[in-house]
Each structure stands twice: as structure tokens, then as C-alpha cells.
Structure 1
């Protein structure tokens, strides 16, 4: 079966998958033009650019993500510090099984993507590849993809290329976002994930 023929199980993701995958015209245009025939003449037609959906993400201890240098960290951001919060830019991975809710996640307006790395040991990395480019590419892009599952009000993000490894924060503030295969008190893998 084609990945696109499956429905999305998570109702919060229906609009995202519908916007990117279900429309009759699935052409992504980034400031480009397509032509259409009007009165026997070809006329350039401007199509709106699809943009990643943006979400707020907080762990169950209410820590938000922020960027410090080249590291993505989590802490409680309040007052003046609240402006440092990194929103998560999201597009679907069109090559993987849709029922599993495969998402490509990024920060900085989607200009940098989260990856589980290519090494032997999974390690969360930020790569300078825009999420829209990853959506457009043929191929699975599994190292950039996280399967989102939900349980009531919280969500988990499992690395598609590394089954059993989940996006996590530390129980301590100002620690890097990472991946773990041992969810527990020290590694928080449950998140509140709300569209911004």
C-alpha cells in the first residue's frame, strides 16, 4: 500500500498531512512560477508556498526548548527569557507509513532539522538542512524523521531510523535535548505539543 493512502491516526495531525499530502495539486513551489494556459497563451501562475506548521513543545516538567550556541537545551523559560523559546517547525515525511505519523522536525523557522545522526550510537544533531527540502526530496530521510505517538495529552517522538530511541529532556534544567532508549525519571520522553 502507498504511504499516502493510510489515514493519520492522530487527529491533531490531520490538517498537517492533509495540507501537504492530500491536495490534488501536490506541487511545492518556493517562490517559483508554474505556467497555465489562458486564452491560448501560457501565463505564469503564482502558487502559494507551503510552510511548515509551527508547534510549542514542553516536557512534562514544563521545560521549553532553546538554542545556546549550536546546542538545543531545555529549561523553564519565564518573563524576559520566554522570547528565547524555540518553536518546532514540522512537515510530514511523505515516504513513510502515514499511520505512524512520521514527522520531520526543525528549529529556526524550519531552516535547521533535527536528526538522530548517522553514527553507531544515536545522537541528536541539528543539521543545516531545511525541513521543506527534506519533504521535497525523494527517499525516506529516516534519520530526520520522528514517529509521533500520543497518549491523552502527551506525545512521544521515536527516531524512525532508531526504533526504541526517543527524543528526551533531562530532569535537570539547562541540559541538552537528546535521545534515549531508557525512558524514566532522569530522561523525560513525554511532551506537550501544541500548534502555535
Structure 2
């Protein structure tokens, strides 16, 4: 059995190894998330729907009809499993206004594949701590495209506020950073915990 002093030295070394690999993994994740190509970077404008679309009944539970914006594409994905980073933002919404912005990935025939969305809004009020003013005007998502081919990106909104334009950036990161990010956070937490245990043993 090792003396307590030797045990503390080994525990500190182990903690340092975990922290080192945690930081290294997070740096790797950051480098992998850097864009290697930009597919689109600019504003898309509201595209009025035909009257036939506007008079269609709302789906169950919906209060506002969806409003479409100009289609982005086609753009080409050359590598299966390619990550597509989507960033969408709007100008400052009016007070107490909100809209749900939904992005849709379409295939070469403009058929629906998948979608995601986020509510953007602007509110302010007063509580026990005084006045508050909160705004959410941007959304970000990373999608994994399983197959190479040509794709389109469609945007629609629902809500009591319809922005005239939505600024959209589509970029292709080098690879997915999620595995390295998860590994980095876990190893960092383990390293910090081991270091804390070492210090507690030393103080006792």
C-alpha cells in the first residue's frame, strides 16, 4: 500500500491528465466547428402566398397562418454526413411581438425532409426587482445531411409579427464538434473532481 503522500502525487497527476485532455478536446471541437464553406449569407424577403394558400384553414391548435420567405438554393452537399450550420436572425421585434421562425430542409425535388424552429420575441415589464426588457432575435442549429446531393432551404414564420426580411447564414463546418465537446466537458469535470479530492485529502 502506497503512503498517503505518494497517493496524493498520483491523484494530482491523474487530475492533470484529465484536465489536459478535456481542454484539448474542447479546442479540437472549436476547430472542427469552424466553417470551411459558406453556402448563403444574406437576407431573404417575405414571399406572399397565392390567395388559394392564404384561405386554407389553420391546423389544429394554430392561431396564425404560416408565411413563406424566398427559397434558398439549390446548394450542393458533396459528402455524406456533412454538417450544415444554420443561423437565422431578425431585426429588433416590436414590443410584445413574437414570431415562430421555422427552417425546412428540402430535397432536390423541393420535397420536405426535416425542419426546426424557435420563437423570437421582444417583451418588457416590471417585477419586484424593477424594470426588465428581454429580446430573442436569433436562432442557430446544426443539421447532419445523410446523403450527398442538391438541397433547398425554406423559411416560414407564424405569429403576430412578420419580419419583412430574415438574415440567414448557411455554412459547412469541417465536421461535427459534438463528440469532442461532450468528451471534453466530461473529462474536465472528472479532472476538477479529482483535484478537489486531492486537496481535501491534503488538508485533512
- TM bucket (normalised to shorter chain) is under 0.3
Return the structure number with greater relative CO, CA threshold 8 A, min gap 6.
2
Give the TM-score normalised by the residue count of structure 1: 0.23
Give the TM-score normalised by the residue count of structure 2: 0.23
